[in-house]
Structure 1
């Protein structure tokens, strides 16, 4: 949200009270984080006693909940309502910072990160990583902002206007601005489908169901990562507005409504270090089951299907040697107008128990679609309403609307009994043979409602998805065990990375949408999410054969892979016979890569580093990769450049060293841009110089014994010894020391 009118003036209707100086600096025992520094920042420079009268102040408190992390709390009125931040499972009780105050000001040190407040005017709060200043809050950076009724801040419509879930107008805000250095680039802020580098953008953190071709996002995360070796998390699940060099071009501004703003500065120095600390604070992903890495095949959304249709797809995939691991039933496994009643539609699935048993006999896992809404026609609506399990309006009536399912209500997951009730419906499906759930929606969350626990609806709008996905993930963990629980979720916010997997939402079936889907995944990776998927071929419309084949190669070179669409089936022979060949080649390739991919998934809970990595995350010292969002690293050793053209032309960048094509074996010198033309059975897939790639012996399934007949493929380009670790699906781990001089490829 923009408050200023150029460099000198404010917009009409805007009053801003800036913290002008550090008047008093004291040590304090912060309520949550132990020893810290508290600063009184008057909104004018105090030159005499009279200046202290009728003068608002900002109270700025510094503390540290975790090594390498500094919490900054900026408050106008401390007694004002603050709806609280995110759950922080990694925060250390009592804090970890070392604070001191002297004539030079206040200092808080936590690991490699130091925050310094200079005494007097002008206001100056600096952040240093390993002794080097990386950013800071300077003159006219911290402000309490008031808007009158005619304020021309032009926030626009943020969120789904038609759904009535747009951001409400607020009269007061607190904002901070942190310095943006020359050449400094900003990444992250959730799964956003525009340019990967966020400089110059306005980003509103407010979950919405807008598709991948819009400025809206399903997964909004108020965390960004800087190329200068630090990250920032705004600790507010509500509406956070970012101006990334788009209002004050020398700064990143973030603002929240109300009286209090809280944020964390997170030390690097490398991008992986930042993500490691960020996910240690907000939650790390669990290990997901090996079977989930295999190909997921879907009924698609509005297509006609029954058990005979499903069986014909599965049998034909097997006949064509196309390995499938999971079959997904989308919405119409339940009867129309009943979503969700968690009952198989008896008109098309008269024997669900037998059908699920027959699918399991084919060595398949089963996923079913759900959402957190209960339609009025569902028998469960009256049951939930009578017990107070649905979100209510202020007058005590059940909140309902007709957008999506007629008369639907919303499960109130702030009510423990409602959560247990919802989970009981899922448990019955698990007992029946369902293995996992696609947790769709979670973004269209209303504001004019009352929650069971009294939560602020503005806070719950983004946070609702967390409670929804947690309820589903927990029941799977309880039923299946820690290592066998997996979701296919659309919505998320900070902390959602702890309940994987997430997919990219509703894309169109075109090359531009394929590219924007990749940008969303890379942005989400920079936001701390280790696993990610998308609808191969696009969701809206039917892709032509070229789009489907190019998207299939791309989709099978990620952590999770699913064929899914809206109005048409996504089995490859519906497109052409070459699409069958493409599916076979890249599915089998992924199965061979499972020792490598699964080990990355074992490491992610330990490091917070995602499987799919933006080039700037893996090569932060190479300026050529800073803006790259058309290629990525799959783990540390595989470079993937999807083809976004029907002609097969693709331009990509190889960092320095000798790279090897995994498909052709050709060795190519990097440090340069390369233009190639690829047939549908190929794409630029290069192995990093000196990599040792564990290569599995099977290409028909993802969950096999990776150690049996394992091959260690040694690629040229580096010297010395490499250590390679392989972990099997049942948890057995073995490490190997490999002499890189013994090149095998």
Structure 2
């Protein structure tokens, strides 16, 4: 049987080293930081452990029973071979060195399932990346789990509700980082000391960034650990992108206006489009998550996970899509790799043996919110082809121009899949899911016009998905889960090699006392208008959330939709630049400011080379500090000029805090926008 193949990266470490040429190490030459091992230093810990997994609603707790642990010191360097020893145990690692990259290759026959590599560190070092981070940008001093997961644990949601009921709403409250979970994890990070690191491993890992040491802990033998060296972080991210793969380009039509979330049937779609037309609010697409049917549960408005057109809500959908295209509007949908228990499609999957199983051989049912569902076994070649064909016939052939490819992070580690144990496939599951979606589009020859966007991810997903989005933020301003966390997620993903990302305008998660205010929607849109996709979400409880057509929101939303469309030339330039260089569209400020303090800036961002955006991220505020890089900058719509440094700026509700580099090739475009 041939399993679905997942591209790990464009080039393997060994091939890359052959291209560059390997510098042989002498016993006297020291490896570059942070791999500067010395004779007699403990640099490797090997062990055996028995894991215990407990998974609930996409969150896995892992506890190890350690049965053996050995600390090995470096005893010999012979060219490329570094030998570590502990008593009678000797282990040799192969180290390939180049001026711009160093790769450690681990022996495949290493008979241990717990490996820790000890690297150098400094107290003043900043660490950014490890996939998607929500509550903090700088990871120094923290232990970061590398494990894809549901972000919102039920306990955290209840704790927030109780805390805010007793003490009141405090958007600045931060949970301990130990409670961190992320949809998109990756064993990759940037250091302010001029290097990036990536580990080729699929199992659970945890990176601990101590003041003077970094510990890379793995639950299996990594194939390699590669360190890239460069003073400029942009070059490091470009190298990561070359290594891990570029995201396929977005279609050009996505920038023709907002991507508007509407559910409730085709009548609701046409009604909302009439509102946008009346207010001169351009729309590039409508995305209907309930095209396959709607569920109304205690959690709110949810999708029927059946993946066939609901003819009651969307009759003659192919004809309706053709009508929308004549109006210049595309239709997007929603899909995930799960099937609701009791639906005909789920029954078919059970009959054909296409679901993930328990050790007993029975389907492994899981509960996402309020109902049970089964997981399609994406490692089963026939199941993989069956569901890919289903997406092609039920979505692409009907006329959808794209979709949200949700989930991918729920595979229980104790599950049994066609290719083995769930623990070994858990992190790679969202990558296989993204690959399936990519093939569904490419096999129809629609790569330039149809796209999808993903929530969960791991190493290799950038070769498949057009965009990552930041997941299910709360409909509030909270630091950990609301508007500020969406920006932090985009910045940390950029440092991990993701070139294209965006967020749900206004957030999604609406439970207990949470309600989306008009202010939050407007402030979120002010930030999102400068990202590659300007896309709304109604949330899981649309009636209690302010939407784009709320009377206090609509005038601002219409203006921002027009602005996003007008920015198309600059956004396309940034996207094309990413395709050529690997440098992301949305960038942290430390890409342009050569100051260690800039690595701590997580409340503003750059778009390409020539734009700085400083959104308002707190309720009730109309003033904030903004840090500008070297050069002369002028503010879009006011024309006020500023130099390098920190400036206090006023940002009224409905305004944008966007600064343009003087001398930009796109300055004529920005001048026209300011004057219009």
CA contact (8 A) 1:650 1:675 kept: yes
- Which residue is equivalent to 1:490? 455
CA contact (8 A) 1:178 1:251 kept: yes
Mark the structure with the bigger radius of gyration: 1
- Which residue is equivalent to 1:508? 474
Is residue 63 of structure 2 the alignment partner of residue 90 of structure 1?
Answer: no
Shift of 1:460: 1.0
CA contact (8 A) 1:209 1:218 kept: yes
CA contact (8 A) 1:338 1:377 kept: no
The correspondence for 1:522, drawn from 491, 514, 522, is 491
* Residues 252-261 or 305-314, more deviating: 252-261
The correspondence for 2:591, drawn from 600, 617, 627, is 617
Rounded Cα–Cα distance in structure 2 between residues aligned with 1:443 and 1:643: 31
Rounded Cα–Cα distance in structure 2 between residues aligned with 1:306 and 1:485: 22
3-state secondary structure, aligned to 1:142: strand
CA contact (8 A) 2:613 2:657 kept: yes
CA contact (8 A) 1:192 1:523 kept: yes
The correspondence for 2:196, drawn from 203, 224, 231, is 231
Shift of 1:560: 1.2
CA contact (8 A) 1:572 1:583 kept: no
Rounded Cα–Cα distance in structure 2 between residues aligned with 1:260 and 1:665: 53
Deviations along 1:622-672, one digit per CA (max 9) or x if unpaired, are: 3342210000101110000001232311111122322111221111222x2
Rounded Cα–Cα distance in structure 2 between residues aligned with 1:159 and 1:401: 13
Shift of 1:404: 4.3
CA contact (8 A) 1:604 1:611 kept: yes
Shift of 1:559: 1.2
TM-score by length of 1: 0.73
- Which residue is equivalent to 2:310? 345
3-state secondary structure, aligned to 2:129: strand
- Which residue is equivalent to 2:159? none
Cα 1:368–1:276, aligned 2, differ >3 Å: closer, same or farther? same
* Residues 626-635 or 601-610, more deviating: 601-610
Q: How many aligned residue pairs are there?
A: 581
3-state secondary structure, aligned to 2:600: coil
Cα 1:329–1:695, aligned 2, differ >3 Å: closer, same or farther? farther
Rounded Cα–Cα distance in structure 1 between residues aligned with 2:506 and 2:331: 21
Q: Which runs of 5+ in 1 are unaligned?
A: 1-83, 99-109, 120-124, 150-156, 697-710, 716-743
Shift of 1:575: 3.3
CA contact (8 A) 1:191 1:523 kept: yes
Rounded Cα–Cα distance in structure 2 between residues aligned with 1:165 and 1:350: 41
3-state secondary structure, aligned to 2:574: helix
Cα 1:309–1:142, aligned 2, differ >3 Å: closer, same or farther? same
More helix by share: 2
- Which residue is equivalent to 1:185? 126
Rounded Cα–Cα distance in structure 1 between residues aligned with 2:509 and 2:368: 19
Rounded Cα–Cα distance in structure 1 between residues aligned with 2:248 and 2:485: 27
Shift of 1:411: 1.0
* Residues 479-488 or 541-550, more deviating: 479-488
Is residue 503 of structure 2 the alignment partner of residue 603 of structure 1?
Answer: no
3-state secondary structure, aligned to 1:317: helix
Is residue 224 of structure 2 the alignment partner of residue 262 of structure 1?
Answer: yes
3-state secondary structure, aligned to 2:145: strand
CA contact (8 A) 1:399 1:449 kept: yes
* Residues 344-353 or 679-688, more deviating: 344-353
Shift of 1:94: 5.1
> Greater relative contact order (Cα 8 A, min sep 6): structure 1 or 2?
2
Matched ranges for 1:624-639 at <5 A: 624-639=597-612
- Which residue is equivalent to 1:443? 409
Rounded Cα–Cα distance in structure 2 between residues aligned with 1:432 and 1:371: 18
Shift of 1:572: 4.8
Rounded Cα–Cα distance in structure 2 between residues aligned with 1:341 and 1:539: 22
- Which residue is equivalent to 1:364? 329
The correspondence for 1:141, drawn from 31, 36, 43, is 43
The correspondence for 1:281, drawn from 240, 243, 247, is 243
RMSD of aligned alpha carbons: 3.0
- Which residue is equivalent to 2:72? none
The correspondence for 2:559, drawn from 560, 575, 585, is 585
Shift of 1:218: 0.4
Is residue 632 of structure 2 the alignment partner of residue 663 of structure 1?
Answer: no
The correspondence for 2:506, drawn from 532, 537, 549, is 537
3-state secondary structure, aligned to 2:469: coil
Cα 1:467–1:581, aligned 2, differ >3 Å: closer, same or farther? same
TM-score by length of 2: 0.80
Shift of 1:606: 2.0
- Which residue is equivalent to 1:643? 616
Shift of 1:116: 4.7
Rounded Cα–Cα distance in structure 1 between residues aligned with 2:604 and 2:367: 41
Rounded Cα–Cα distance in structure 2 between residues aligned with 1:218 and 1:329: 23
Rounded Cα–Cα distance in structure 2 between residues aligned with 1:568 and 1:322: 21
Deviations along 1:226-245, one digit per CA (max 9) or x if unpaired, are: 11221111111221101012
Deviations along 1:282-304, one digit per CA (max 9) or x if unpaired, are: 2112221112234111126xxxx
The correspondence for 2:396, drawn from 419, 430, 447, is 430
Rounded Cα–Cα distance in structure 2 between residues aligned with 1:538 and 1:518: 12
Rounded Cα–Cα distance in structure 1 between residues aligned with 2:54 and 2:483: 23
* Residues 290-299 or 255-264, more deviating: 255-264
3-state secondary structure, aligned to 1:502: strand
